[in-house]
Structure 1
């Protein structure tokens, strides 16, 4: 990136050029009509009022020409654009189309990467060798009909448990009945994966009795080794389901009491996610999180990247880092399968960004994707897993899930993420089963919403990445060791399940 490091007389707005080949620069402050904008050694004049985070052309762009940002096309100019003119929805459109053919190119073998000591945190070692960042009991209802029952059990049993464990939490949802085939299987697989999470020392499964998602069938998808720390209640067959559930949680509390112990960063599984992005997300928060992905994977740990529709137009950056031809083909297959999912529904594949993204300066899906994939850093892509799958390899894993914040973050937790880094330019209070750190792309958001934001990545514009990188890594270690995130303090702990089929 080429940051602006000085102001000159008469220049009232600064902009940042990310790549020398780019056609646009991103404003770091608002510019009024006729005001000067400094981009490196170039001085432009704003052709109209342009808001912070939005783009201006650094030279004339012809109608029909590709427009580049991050060193890659983010769309096609729909009109001639003058230097200094605002580049946005009025003159830029997505260039994305349908599914694509991808060709793997063998890379020179660079040899095995050296493992770098990433320091340690205090975690909970589990019998299967994994490490949790919390020691909690999770209550999972099989069906929405007993969602409130699960919440009541959690409240009563949590109060009884006190501080013997880190908490008792019910994760409710409206699904589990009136579903068929793959749709029901998806609900069951995500619940089974959550039941295996290392942050859940014990799990209570609460069923109704007559639902499609039967307790026994859900248990059948949970490995035998895990079932010793799982209890079940079926409300229709229990004399008092509340008392029964609380008694079984009390059993689990006795079973799972444990102490934290020092473990290396190789024991961490980092989920990375962005939501409510703005024009600065791809310049500050997302690349900073990418550095965290690199630090964790270089230490021998794992990172998980998802939001497949927000990879469209940037998938080549991940495919270039595929560990081998098989992983390359699976990345391409997943992207094409997701595109076909939109096409089969009669929807355009580029119907993204959201209104909030657009207001924040993001114009096309390609632009959003090129900023979003930076959360994966430069780590080798070692695996591709389906929705409801669990991470099994060290390095960067690509997970099938949509861009929706709640659905994809739930999938990250189910896949085994023990901390989620969630970048945002607009802000959101939402939290998920595992500690979810909200990382602001701009300092204004961090100052305006201190009750939501855990870390201000806007600081990199003034201080650079090096100091922010160390500061964020310290915060991750602290939170992995038990310090609560803002979402945890606010009681924001939810799941959402990806429903894809008919409802009976």
Structure 2
């Protein structure tokens, strides 16, 4: 798929035809009514002013007919659409509706190209065989009541370690606060506890201080029972109701952990990387530039023997069959079906349609329906087979591509990726977002305009794919991933953007 490039003086705009069967193209620059739009050695004339990232019909579409993009239906035409017309919310609607039945029909895995020479990064080798991309001390509050206390402990401890030239190689002390842990019941409380326990086990945390209040539902003893015994030597706890000066005691415990956590980087291969992939604030180009680019990195990591985690289950609706047909076994297929349909029931049980997506920002950026968004989103996994399916709050079970249960919300899903074991996250965006998470979060712009406008947010410009092609740019991104995994800071890290968010699913007492 090579866009035809012409000089602007000819008033020919560039557009991308994703699949030969598609009935629309996606603009890579805005057009005025009457301008020619070139694609795949053909052209049409725009009937209206249309922004970049939006769709133009390349043939007449009758009312009620499916509109095709990526070679698949992205919804149904609500009125007749003329050649050259802008295709969006005014004439295109979703066709998604409720749960579905699926049949196991695996396809042969697509060949995945891999570079001859292996790529490496400088990681921290842990005693249990895992490899970290950072060596930090994490402070985790059990309950929102001590969130500010945890932040104060982390700030003071970090300042002390930074000023101490004998502190060893500690990359920082960070508190990850949240408002939960009390007034929760049943599965809701279990979810909070599972996420915090999983974060406490993360390899990027060379040591963990768990700060509790004392009277909360999320008791420290119950939380510790979810943490394996072999992890306990680098865990310390503090119950603030029982402490004298809780800040001084917390800082002292962090200093003790820092002595235990001193470490140095060593060269390792991509087989030791656990990569989370995520999109947020997407636009019409996300599924054409940034997400396919990340898909190439996913393929490379899996081919090397590493792990890739894909989540945002509601943003698989309409594209789930592409993942189901790549399940390595029928049991994995059944797990995907259960996860997708259970998530749809979650929407329906709350009186919401399964298609209540895309967001206003997605729509402004040119994404019309959830099917369109999903077909672009799943490309972050590349063409890799699906090896594992795990629930929210669980940790990775093996190498290959894992599907992780979590919603599309950026903060909730990225927290779940980190808790599951991701040591870096590739985060694609067409609209931009400053958010960062517990592990290095590499922001990848779908278009050059965003990368130019927000250099303080963006780490990599995937807009280069339009000029140089995805395979060439993938090598540049792979090198950047290795640099960041080796210690180079992300924009979010430089900005102090580090957050967690926990999926709230139950009543509050």
Which of 222, 225, 246 aligns to 2:230? It is: 225
**Alpha-carbon deviations, 1:379-419, whole Å to 9, x = none?**
11000000001112111000000000000000000000001
Choose the corresponding residue for 1:476, options 462, 481, 506: 481
Q: Name which of structure 1's ranges 113-122 and 347-356 shifts more when overlaid on structure 2.
A: 113-122
> Does residue 190 in structure 1 map to residue 215 in structure 2?
no
Aligned position for 2:447? 442
Q: Is 1:286 the equivalent of 2:300?
A: no
> How far, CA to CA, are the matches of 1:64 and 1:110 in structure 2?
34
| Counterpart-to-counterpart distance in 2, 1:390 and 1:83 | 49
1:371-390 to 2 correspondence within 5 Å?
371-390=376-395
| Structure 2 match to 1:149 | 149
How far residue 119 of structure 1 moved from its aligned partner, in angstroms, is 1.4
Structure 1 residue 10 displacement after superposition? 3.7
Matched, 1:32 2:32: yes
Separation of aligned partners in 2, 1:39 and 1:320: 31
Q: Is 2:42 the partner of 1:42?
A: yes
CA contact (8 A) 2:15 2:28 kept: yes
User: Which residue does the alignment assign to 2:75?
Assistant: 75
Unpaired runs of 5+ residues, structure 1, are none
When residues 84 and 405 of structure 1 are mapped into structure 2, their CA distance, relative to the original with a 3 A threshold, is same
Distance 1:365 1:5, change over 3 A: same
Give the superposition deviation at 1:233: 0.1
Structure 2 vs 1, CA of residues 373 and 204 (structure 1 numbering), >3 Å: closer, same or farther?
same
Once the two structures are TM-superposed, the CA of residue 41 in structure 1 deviates from its matched residue by: 2.9
> What is the aligned partner in structure 2 of residue 255 from structure 1?
260
Measure, in 2, the Cα distance between the counterparts of 1:453 and 1:308. 25
Paired residue secondary structure (1:483): coil
Q: 1:159: Cα distance to partner?
A: 1.2
Per-residue deviation, residues 224-274 of structure 1 (Å, max 9, x unmatched): 110110000000011111111111111101101001001111000000000
1:277 and 2:282 correspond:
yes
Structure 1's 183 and 124: CA in aligned 2 closer, same or farther, altered over 3 A? same
Distance 1:332 1:7 in 2: 48
Secondary structure of 1:242's partner? helix
The residue that corresponds to 1:310 in the other structure is 315
CA 1:235–1:301 in structure 2 vs 1: closer, same or farther (change >3 Å)? same
Q: Quick one: distance in 2 between partners of 1:316 and 1:392?
A: 23
CA 336–149 in structure 1, closer or farther in 2 if over 3 Å, else same: same
Structure 1's 342 and 227: CA in aligned 2 closer, same or farther, altered over 3 A? same
Structure 2 counterparts to residues 13-28 of structure 1, below 5 A: 13-28=13-28
Structure 1 ranges of 4+ moved more than 3 A: 5-11, 106-118
Contact 2:106–2:324 under 8 Å retained in 1 = no
Q: Tell me by how many angstroms 1:495 deviates.
A: 0.2
Q: Which of 391, 401, 409 is residue 406 of structure 2 equivalent to?
A: 401
Q: Secondary structure at the match of 1:15?
A: strand
Alpha-carbon separation, structure 1, partners of 2:48 and 2:111: 52
Match of 2:242 in 1: 237
Matches of 1:462 and 1:250, distance apart in 2: 50
Output the aligned Cα RMSD: 1.6
For residue 467 of structure 2, the aligned residue among 462, 465, 471 is 462
Does structure 2 retain, via aligned residues, the 8 Å contact 1:173–1:497?
yes
Q: Normalising by structure 1, what TM-score?
A: 0.98
In the other structure, the counterpart of 1:95 is 95
**Residue 493 of structure 1: how far off its partner (Å):** 0.5
Q: Separation in 2 of the partners of 1:2 and 1:64?
A: 31
Task: Call closer, same or farther: CA 1:2–1:94 in 2, change over 3 Å.
Answer: farther
Corresponding residue SS for 1:124: strand
Equivalent in the alignment of 1:341? 346
Tell whether the 8 Å contact from 1:118 to 1:295 is kept in structure 2 after alignment.
Answer: no
| Corresponding position of 1:416 | 421
Following superposition, the deviation at residue 467 of structure 1 comes to 2.3
Partner Cα separation in structure 2 for residue 220 and residue 63 of structure 1: 59
- Alignment partner of 1:451 out of 445, 452, 456: 456
Check 1:160–1:287 CA distance in 2 against 1; reply closer, same or farther (3 A cut).
same
Please say if residues 209 and 237 of structure 1, whose CA atoms lie closer than 8 Å, have aligned partners that are also in contact.
yes
Contact 2:310 2:403 in 1 (8 A): yes
Please show how residues 96-175 of structure 1 align to structure 2 within 5 Å: 96-107=96-107, 118-162=118-162, 164=168, 165-175=170-180
Equivalent residue of 1:76, what SS?
strand
Q: Find the partner of 1:431 among 414, 423, 436.
A: 436
Are the structure 2 counterparts of residues 116 and 144 from structure 1 closer, same or farther at C-alpha, using a change threshold of 3 Å? farther
Which segment is superposed worse, 4-13 or 258-267?
4-13
- Cα offset, 1:3, TM superposition: 2.1
